[in-house]
Structure 1
Amino acid sequence: MSDPIRLDKRLVELLGCSRGNAQKYIEGGWVKVDGKMVDLPQFKVSQQKVELHPDATLEPITPVTMLLNLPDPFDVKSPEAGLGLITPESRSEEDHSRIRILNRHFSGLKPTAPLEAKATGLVAFTNDWRVVRRLVEDANRNEQEYVVELNDVVSDAQIEQLNRPMKMAGAPLMRSKVSRQSEARLRFALKAPRPGQIQFMCESVGLSVATMKRIRIGSISMGKLPPGRWRYLPSGKLF
């Protein structure tokens, strides 16, 4: 029995291609070992059957965006909060994107559109510069939607106040759209919220926040994504 060797080296032997192209095929998810996709060039093989998919291409791996339902309770202390929850095992069964999961998808992920402190719900991590530009550089154009549970019964007068222009630390806030969902639940639709803005707005009109959950960023809603699970943003979607 021969000694185990790296998968990329075995592929070079089989195809007569360069080591660099062998690694691209493997990292692109085009190589199977005994019928199972392996995308790690350093994976050791000996007598296993190694196959290259007939549709294999050397095109670069397409950047991806992953949408996570940050579970409750989760105190957001940094923009990276929740990144450790995104693993191959925590992919949601509700993911219908048909994107093949690759190890390379989990490298270089950056947080975008941070949640309000102590909020739960939809967060996005991406290695796609187009998504970063849309959610970070153009944040003022993308509306976010939160459902806010309160410890108080909300009056019509308080909702009217929340929809008026407000200042926080002396600086004007972008106008928000606030509507009632029940006696003690409000919907906030706002752009580029400042840290602590929702809690500040509620306290300014005499309301106490119990919980906050973000359910939408731009045109992308959380849908039926379970807490602690993630799904890919479908190809062609940019919020």
Structure 2
Amino acid sequence: MNLQVFLARAGVVSSRRKAAALIREGKVKVNGKTAQLGTTIDPNKDVVEFDGQEVKLVAKKLYIALNKPAGYLVAKSDTRGRKLAYDLLKEPSIDSDVLTQAEFNSLFNVGRLDLDTEGLLLFTNDGEFALRLTHPRYQVKKVYIAKVKGRISNRAVKRIEHGVWIYIKEKGKIVEKYRSQPAKVRVLGRGKKGYSVLVLKIAEGRKREVRRICATVGYPVLSLKRIQIGPLELGDLPVGKWRFLKEKELELLRNYLSRKSAEK
């Protein structure tokens, strides 16, 4: 494990960037020797010290669900001063649970939601759990509710269901292209007020995937909310609030991931 990652997950600091600063300042030792940037360690064998005190990983595995509001960045810091999803975890949960500073620092987000998207976002300090939920080979399904501009046609729905070519441009030039995977689509309504509401179920986790798919078929997203990851549903968790996952939910997720692994 990279030493910077270890220090962040042990709760010493809240980010790898801050961990790097401690290493550069010579405040971190590994097996009695001053550490250098790029050092890797085995948490089960190596002894890491910060300011003369031994550092160990946070023993308790944490699994958190947040209903992220639109307008919150999924990051631990931001030079532009935007609101951060992580800051919502500093408040008590809906069950009045409070994270210690070390527990908070040990967390990382499981995947992302873009700035303008709201809904279900998971946090954990369990690296294996996060990997299995986010790695493309596991094809974990996510469900979104999208409000799109216009009265969407059946043809556009079929195109989304079969997959469309996405072209990503920078300064007028195509820098990446790919075909989206087939998606399941259910039209909840084609409103008379100039918009339609869709439920989309997809397995890909590419950046701004749903927005790009809908824009490609001619119906740009007006608002977007993620309501499910695998078998885990957002439910009635209030916007901006968080809670620990229940044991039965974790068991449900583990069984789901085990089945996905067996399919490979």
How high is the TM-score relative to the length of structure 2? 0.59
- The C-alpha deviation readout for 1:36-90, integer Å capped at 9, x for no partner, is xxxxxxxxxxxxxxxxxxxxxxxx8430111100113x1536487411110242x
Deviation at 1:233, TM superposition (A): 1.2
What's the secondary structure of 2:162's corresponding residue?
A: coil
What's the secondary structure of 1:111's corresponding residue?
A: strand
Q: 1:174 corresponds to which residue?
A: 181
CA spacing shift, 1:129–1:75, aligned 2, 3 Å: closer
Q: 2:37 corresponds to which residue?
A: none
CA spacing shift, 1:122–1:77, aligned 2, 3 Å: closer
CA spacing shift, 1:140–1:117, aligned 2, 3 Å: farther
Deviation at 1:113, TM superposition (A): 1.7
Stretches of structure 2 that go unaligned for 5 or more consecutive residues are 1-57, 78-83, 168-176, 191-195, 254-264
Are 1:189 and 2:201 counterparts?
Answer: yes
| Aligned AA (1:193) | G
Q: Is the CA contact (8 Å cut-off) linking 1:66 and 1:233 kept in structure 2?
A: yes
Pairing partner for 1:228 from 234, 240, 258: 240
| Aligned AA (1:177) | K
Deviation at 1:138, TM superposition (A): 5.1
CA spacing shift, 1:117–1:177, aligned 2, 3 Å: farther
Q: 2:65 corresponds to which residue?
A: 67
Q: Is the CA contact (8 Å cut-off) linking 2:164 and 2:216 kept in structure 1?
A: no
Rg (Cα) greater in structure? 1
What's the secondary structure of 1:195's corresponding residue?
A: coil
Q: 1:42 corresponds to which residue?
A: none
Q: 1:85 corresponds to which residue?
A: 88
Q: 1:127 corresponds to which residue?
A: 125
Count residues with an aligned counterpart: 173
Q: 1:49 corresponds to which residue?
A: none
Q: 1:199 corresponds to which residue?
A: 211
| Relative contact order higher in (CA < 8 Å, ≥ 6 apart) | 1
Q: 2:157 corresponds to which residue?
A: 159
Deviation at 1:232, TM superposition (A): 0.5
Stretches of structure 1 that go unaligned for 5 or more consecutive residues are 1-59
The aligned runs of 1:51-62 (5 Å cut-off) are 61-62=59-60
CA spacing shift, 1:86–1:102, aligned 2, 3 Å: closer
Deviation at 1:135, TM superposition (A): 1.7
Partners in 1 of 2:219 and 2:99 — Cα distance?
Answer: 46
What's the secondary structure of 1:133's corresponding residue?
A: helix
Deviation at 1:92, TM superposition (A): 1.3
Q: Is the CA contact (8 Å cut-off) linking 2:90 and 2:98 kept in structure 1?
A: no
| Aligned AA (1:173) | S
| Aligned AA (1:92) | I
CA spacing shift, 1:129–1:202, aligned 2, 3 Å: same
Q: Is the CA contact (8 Å cut-off) linking 1:177 and 1:190 kept in structure 2?
A: yes
| Aligned AA (1:172) | R
How high is the TM-score relative to the length of structure 1? 0.64
Q: Is the CA contact (8 Å cut-off) linking 1:202 and 1:208 kept in structure 2?
A: yes
Which stretches of structure 1, 4 residues or more, deviate above 6 A after TM superposition?
none
Q: Is the CA contact (8 Å cut-off) linking 2:146 and 2:198 kept in structure 1?
A: yes
What's the secondary structure of 2:106's corresponding residue?
A: coil
Deviation at 1:140, TM superposition (A): 4.2
Q: 2:116 corresponds to which residue?
A: 118
Identity of matched residues, %: 22
Q: Is the CA contact (8 Å cut-off) linking 1:139 and 1:191 kept in structure 2?
A: no
CA spacing shift, 1:176–1:140, aligned 2, 3 Å: farther
